[in-house]
Structures are given as C-alpha cells and as structure tokens.
Structure 1
Amino acid sequence: MRNVRPWRLVAAWVIVILMATTVPFPSGLIETGPFPFDKVVHFGLYAVLGWTVHRAVRAGGGRRPLSILAAWAVGIAFGALDELHQHLVPGRDPSVADWAADAAGYTAAFLASSVLARKSSRKEQR
C-alpha cells in the first residue's frame, strides 16, 4: 500500500478550506482598499493545498507528467467549485477574482514543490 499519510494532510487542509468558506460572512467586510486582503488569504490557503497535493502525489509514486498535470487540474477545479458553492452561503458570493487568487496560490506552491522535488531527486542521484 502506498503512503497515505500525505493524503491525510491534504484531506485535513481541504476540510479547513471548506470550513472557512462555508461560514456566513457579512458582505464587503474585508474587501477594502485597492488590493483586498481576502485575495492574500485565498492565495495562502490554496498555496498550502498546492504544496501538500504535490507532495502527496510524489509520495504516492506519481512522477509522470500526466499524474502531475491531473493533480494540478483537480486543485484548480476544486478552487472553482469552492467559489461556486459560496453562492449557497449567506453573505458570500462567488468571485472570479477570488478563484484567480486560489489558482495563483495553488499553482505557485505546486510549481515550487515540483522544483524542489526535482532538485532533491538530482542530489540523490549524484
């Protein structure tokens, strides 16, 4: 059986995201200024998710480009679905800008994890 521990961390973080985005919120509370703070929060939440998903895929033996691409695409899709589900939460609205921040955070951390994994793999081969 492959290592499931990294996937437990992914599942726990998905629960954190869903809990955070399911709480009713007074509209416009943190959307102030030219660059709303909520975009930083979205970026950060999904950066952690991107990092943990990439590490879990690698730990499970997924090193083929298609496995990596699929894991990236699922994370981006999850961000979109999370935004859409907020339409059902009082005081929350889906936002393309929020989804873009989710996707940017997820992608940045996913790529950073990938680069570090490759460097580590090359060092081990020497």
Structure 2
Amino acid sequence: MRIAIFYGGQDFALQPLSRAEVLGIIDEEQKVVEQYENPAPEMGSQAAIEGLIELGAKAVIVRDDTLSQSEYKALKGQVKFMPTQLGNLYDVLEHLEEVKQGAKDQLEGLEQGESAQQES
C-alpha cells in the first residue's frame, strides 16, 4: 500500500497539509519513503491532493490538525484516513502496523463539522 504523510523541519514533524514542506509517500512494497516537495504552500491544497492521488496513495496519515474541512471533503471517498497522535515520520514508521489498524473511511471530527455546516 502507498500511504501519504505530510511533514517538515529538521525533526520530520507531522504538519498540516496546507503548510508541510514535504509530501511523503510510504511505499510498503518497496520499503521506502518517497519525498516530494509539497505544492500546497505555493499552489494551494488542491494541488497537494491531486498530487497524492496521482502518486497512488490509498491512505493518508492524519493528526487532528492535518486536514481542513475542505481538504477532508476533497479526499473523502478517494483514500482511507489513518489517525495518529504520533509526532514525526520516524515514530509513524516505527508504529506503522498499529497506525494502519486504525484506518477509517471517515473522520468523526470532520464529519461532525460537515453536518454542522450543512445545517446552517
């Protein structure tokens, strides 16, 4: 499976899609992490979303601050979401099997926000 992850800085800290320096693709078959410059800071989040889909990501590792409501909406139905509280790329790689077990089609917090928007 190919899994997208957004991070940056010297400590490879997980960051929001809109600000992260790196769009990483964890390729489980090849046992590598491909690193791409995240286009979102310059070209907008949609460019990063299109990029991760084109790169074959089937899932996205997310923290509470990784995705905005609109980014979540654009990805929903195209990828699985793998929530984590881990702080950086290396922690995620070390615990990847555990993170994968938490894969979901929807994220409750963003789903609730979506229904609240529809009601108003």
Same fold (TM over 0.5): no
Which has the larger share of strand? 2
Greater length-normalized contact order (CA 8 Å, ≥ 6 residues apart): 1
Which has the larger share of helix? 1
Greater C-alpha radius of gyration: 1
